[in-house]
Chain A
Amino acid sequence: MTTATTGPTTVKGAVGTAHTRVEGRDKVTGAARYAGEIPFADLAHGWLVLSTVARGRIRSIDTDPVLGMPGVLAVLHHGNAPRVDTDYVGMLGIPPDPTAAVFQNDRVPHAGWPVALVVAGTPEQAREAAEALVVTYDTEPHDITLSADHPDAYPADGHMPAETEKGDLAAGLAASAVVVDEEYTTPEEHHSMMEPHAATALWDGGRLEVVDSNQGTTWIQGELVKMFSLDESSVRVRSEHVGGGFGSKGLRAHQVSAVMAATVLHRPVRVVMTRRQMFSLAGYRSPTTQRVRLGAGADGRLRALEHRSLNQTSTVYEFVEPGAGVARVMYDADAHRTANHVVRLDVPSPTFMRAPGEAPGSFAIESAFDELAERCGVDPIDLRLRNEPEAGPVSGLPFSGRNLAACFNEGARRFGWADRDPRPGVRRDGRWLLGTGTAAASFQAGAGPSTALVTAEADGTFTVRIAAADIGTGARTALTLVAADALDVTPEQVRVRIGDSDFGPAMIAGGSMGTRSWAWAITEAARELRERLALGTSIPPEGITVRSDTTAALGALAQKERHSFGAQFAEVAVDTATGEVRVRRMLGIFAAGRIVNPLTARNQLVGGMVWGISMALHEEAVRDRASGGLYGPDLAGYHVATHADVPDVEADWVDDPDPDDPVGIKGVGEIGIVGAAAAVANAVWHATGVRHRSLPIRPDRVLSATVPAVGGGTDA
C-alpha cells in the first residue's frame, strides 16, 4: 500500500491510517440488516402498479376483482389515496419530485408512472394481485426523443447558473490557429445500486416510524413531515445499512406509498421496488448531447472555449444535468461561454447520479482536449498544464488548492507516460490494437450544515450520534477515526451511531460532502466536550453530552473555488474484428483532501473509476419510441461492469489537505468517475485512430467505424 503522499500532513492518530470497517464483520456474516430485513409483527406487503402507457389519463382502475383475491387488504390509487402537499422546498433547497407524491391525480406523464399500490398479507399475494389489476387509460401522443436541436429546449439553473459568458467567442475562435468543434453524446444511465429501494412504515404510539434505505434520515424525515403535514417530532426515519445510493436514494414512491398504506390500514406496511420498477421510479442520469468548441494558438493555449450541454427532464419535474459546469472550473480563455439547457419530455424524472454534470461533462471536454492536443501536436498532459488557470475561470475566485499538476506529474511517472508514442493505431498485441489515454478530473469540495451529539460515558468510552448515512462509503468507520482523534482516544473507545433522524439535522451522503460535513460537526462537539472534561467534573451515569451545529462555521467560510482534482490514465486493447474494447489497466492520482481511511478511500476512488469503465463501454438504457419505456429494464438489459470487465485499477493520491477544513477533508465519493470515461475513450482513439464521441463505445460502434490508415484519424 504505497501512497504518493510525501508532504507535511503527518498528524499522529487514527486519521490517515488504514482501518477495516467497524461494521465489516456484520457485512461478511450476513448479520447486517438492510431496510427490507427488519422484522415487524403483523407486517403487510405493498406492491406498486406502474403505468403501461407513456402519456395520458387513467380512465379506470378495476379494484373489485383484486380486492376479492386471497390476502388482499387494500388497493390505493388516485381515487382513494390520502392527499399530500408537494408545494414546499425540502432540505436540499429543491421541491419534491412528484413521482414520489403518488396517487394524487389521474395524469400519466411517463411510462412506468405509479398508478396504484396493492397491499396484501404476503409478498406473493400482493404481487399476484398487482399483476391482476386492470387499469385502462386514455392515451395521448408522447415525445421521448432527446435531440440537440429540440425546439422546446430552454436554459435552466439547477444547482448552478444556467449560462456564463465572457469575451467575444466568435472573435476568439476566428483568431485561433487550431479549432475543435465537435458534438458528444452520453446515454441514459441508471444508478443500479444492488439494494432496491425498500421502506417499512408504521404508526407507533402516535409517531410515524419509517425504516428505510436512504442517503439521509433527517432529509427524508423532513420531506415526509412536509408532504404529510405532520409535526417534526412525530416522524422518525431510520436507515442503518444502505446497499448503495449514488444519488438515487432520496424521497421516492416506496416511502410515500408505504406511509399512506400504514395510515389507512393501521398496521406496518413494507414496500420494496422491484428491479424493473427502479428503472422508472428511482431517477437516472439523463442522456446528454453536448457541443464543445475550443480555439487555441499553435502552442495549445486556449483563446476561446464554449461548452453547451442539453439534457432531458420529465414534464413534472425539472432536473438539470449540468454538463457544461466542469469547464467553469477546469479551463480559462479570454472568450469563455458555457450553457446548460433542458427539454421536457414524456420520460421519467432524472436525478443526481454520481458526479452529476461532471461525469458526462468531463467526457465531452476531456475528449475535446485530447482532440486539441492531437491537432496541435502537443502532448495531452502538457496541453492541460499549459492551460492551468490562476483563478476560477468564471468566478475569478482563488482556488483553495489546485494540485492538478502534481496529480499529472505523479500519474505520468507511475503510468510510464513519458515513453508514449503519440501516433494512433501503431501498437499491436496479436489481434489487439493497444492505446493509452489520459484525462483530468475535478469535483466540488463542499460541506453542509450538520449537528452531532458526542457523549462521554461513565465507563470511559464515548458515543457519537449523528444522522449520517453509510451507503458503502465507509463513513461509519471514517467518523470513528475522526472522533477518536478529536477526543484523543483510540478508535476502540468510540462508538458511532448513525442513520437515525432522532439524532438531529445532518448533511446527506451526497455531493462528496457527507464525511466532511459530519466530521466537522463531530470535531466541534468533541472539542467542547474535552474542554468540559478538562474541568475535572465527574461523569454521571447518563454521561455528559455535547451537541454541535456547524451552520455558523460554514456560513463564515470565505468564498473560494473549492474542488478535488485528479489525473486519470487508461490503457485499452481494441479488437477491430469483433469490436471488443478491453481496459487493461487504469491509474488515477487524486488531490482530494486529507484521506481519513486509506483502505476505504482507495476502494471508493477505484469504485468511481470502475464506474468510468462501465460508462465508457457498457452502460446505456435504450428507450423505445413506440412504447416510451425502456428495452430490457433490468440487469440483463442494462449492463454494468462486472468482474471480468475490470482489470487492475489503481488509485492513489497526493498530499492535499483542505486548509479551511478542521480535519483537512475534501471528499472522495465522486472524483473517481470524473474524466475516467474520457481517459478510456482517448485510449481507444490512441489504439485505433478512431474518435468515439458517443458513449458507450459498443462493439457495433467500433466495427462500423472506418479503420484509418496508420497515423491517420477518423470519426465514429
Chain B
Amino acid sequence: MAPAPSSTSSAVVLNINGEKHQLTVDHRTTLLDALRERLDLTGTKKGCDQGQCGACTVLVDGRRAVSCLNLAVAAEGREITTIEGMAEGDRLHPVQQAFLDLDGYQCGYCTPGQICSAIAVIEEHAAGWPSAATEDVRPEAGPPPLTPEEIRERMSGNLCRCGAYVSIVQAVARAAGADEAAVGEDDANQGETAKETAA
C-alpha cells in the first residue's frame, strides 16, 4: 500500500513501543497521523491537531511530546512510546491502574495523553525538575514534594473537558506514591521516606 519514496515522501523506520516499523510517509504527515492512519495505533488521540490540548501526548526518548506538532520523518531514530506501550502484557502501568481505580477520566478521549503525560511528570519530578509551582528552585533544595499543586501545574498541558481533573490528580498522586514505594522496596535506605510519601 505504501507508495514509493518521491520528492514528497520518504521511507522511514519508526521505533514505536520497542518495535521497528518501516513505512513511506508523505513529508506532511505528522507523527500523530502516522500512528493513527498508517500504523493503526489509534490510542494516541487527535483533539486539536494544533498542540493546544495534549490529547496526542506520547513519549519521545522518554520525554513528553505532542505528536501532532512532530513530523513523522523527523521521528526516525527516536524511541517513541505510546499508550499502547505502557502496560506490560496484562499488567497495567501503575498510572493506568490508578486512573482505572480512581475514575481518572470520563469520556476517555484525553486519557491516553493524560496518562503519557503523568508518567513523564512523575519521572521529571523524580529527576528534580522544578515547575512554576515549585517554591524553592535551588538545585540543592532537591525535588519538591509532589503536592496536588505541583501535579496540577505540571499536567496543565493536558485538557480534560469532562472536568475529571480532581480524580486525575488523585490518580497521579497515587501512582507516584506507588512508584516511590516500589523504589523503597528495592532500596532499604529509602524505605522510611517512601512509606511516609505513600501515606
Contacts and interface: CB of A to CB of B under 8 A. Distances in A.
Contact of A641 (B100, B108, B115, B163): B163
A21 B103 contact: yes
Contact of B100 (A24, A603, A648, A649): A24
B156 A642 contact: yes
A643 B169 contact: yes
Interface string A591-616: 00000000110011011111100100
Nearest to B90: A25
A33 B45 contact: no
B78 interface: no
A674 to B, nearest CB: 14
Nearest to B84: A30
A195 B160 CA distance: 10
B136 to A, nearest CB: 18
B46 A196 contact: yes
B23 interface: no
A138 interface: no
A614 B165 CA distance: 12
A677 to B, nearest CB: 13
Contact of A648 (B103, B157, B166): B166
Given A27-B108, A29-B84, A30-B83, A244 B52 contact: no
Contacts of A610: 163, 165-166
B83 A603 contact: no
B50 A636 contact: yes
Contact of A646 (B36, B47, B53, B163): B163
Interface stretch (A404-412, A471-479, A532-540): A471-479
B48 A607 contact: no
Given A472-B107, A648-B148, A124 B28 contact: yes
Contacts of B194: none
A193 B26 contact: no
Interface in A112-165: 122-124, 128
Contact of A29 (B28, B92, B101): B92
| Listed residue (B49, B87, B166) with the most chain A CB atoms within 10 angstroms of its CB | B166
Contact of B48 (A191, A635, A648): A635
A196 B47 contact: yes
B111 A611 contact: no
Given A33-B42, A275-B50, A644-B152, A241 B108 contact: yes
A603 B165 CA distance: 9
Contact of A30 (B97, B112, B163): B112
A194 interface: yes
Which of A21, A611, A643 counts the most chain B CB atoms within 10 A? A643
A604 B106 contact: yes
A616 to B, nearest CB: 13
A413 B162 CA distance: 28
Given A33-B42, A603-B106, A611 B163 contact: yes
A552 interface: no
B107 A193 contact: yes
B173 interface: no
A379 interface: no
B84 A603 contact: no
Contact of A20 (B103, B106, B168): B103
A25 B44 CA distance: 15
A242 B92 CA distance: 23
A36 B46 CA distance: 10
B100 A607 contact: no
Contacts of A28: 83, 92, 96-97, 99-100, 105, 111-112, 115
Interface string A452-482: 0000000000000000000111100000000
A288 interface: no
Interface of B is mostly: loop
A473 B106 contact: yes
Interface string B46-88: 1111101101000000000000000000000000001110110
Given A21-B103, A28-B92, A644-B156, A194 B165 contact: no
Contacts of A648: 148, 166
A39 B36 CA distance: 10
B84 A644 contact: no
Contacts of A30: 41-44, 82-84, 112
A74 B42 CA distance: 27
Contacts of A243: 45, 107-110
Nearest to A38: B42
B37 interface: yes
B16 interface: no
A195 B46 CA distance: 7
A611 B92 CA distance: 31
A523 interface: no
B17 to A, nearest CB: 11
A32 interface: yes
B161 A244 contact: yes
Contacts of B108: 23, 27, 32, 241, 243, 472
Contacts of B163: 606-611, 614, 641, 646
A194 B110 contact: yes
B121 to A, nearest CB: 10
Given A29-B43, A646-B152, A34 B109 contact: yes
A183 interface: no
A192 B105 contact: no
A274 interface: yes
A615 B4 CA distance: 51
A123 B106 contact: no
A28 B44 CA distance: 11
A25 B55 contact: no
B152 A643 contact: yes
B155 interface: yes
Interface in A14-71: 20-21, 23-25, 27-34, 36-37, 39
A610 B156 CA distance: 14
B10 interface: no
A634 interface: yes
Contacts of B106: 244, 472-474, 600, 603-604, 607
Interface in A627-654: 634-636, 640-644, 646, 648-649
Contacts of B159: 194, 635, 640, 642
Nearest to A608: B163
12 contacts: A24-B103, A29-B96, A31-B43, A31-B84, A122-B26, A244-B109, A471-B107, A609-B163, A614-B163, A634-B52, A635-B50, A649-B166
Interface of A: 20-21, 23-25, 27-34, 36-37, 39, 122-124, 128, 191-196, 241-244, 246, 272, 274-275, 471-474, 599-600, 603-604, 606-611, 614, 634-636, 640-644, 646, 648-649
Given A24-B103, A635-B48, A648-B166, 4 more contacts: A20-B101, A27-B111, A195-B109, A643-B156
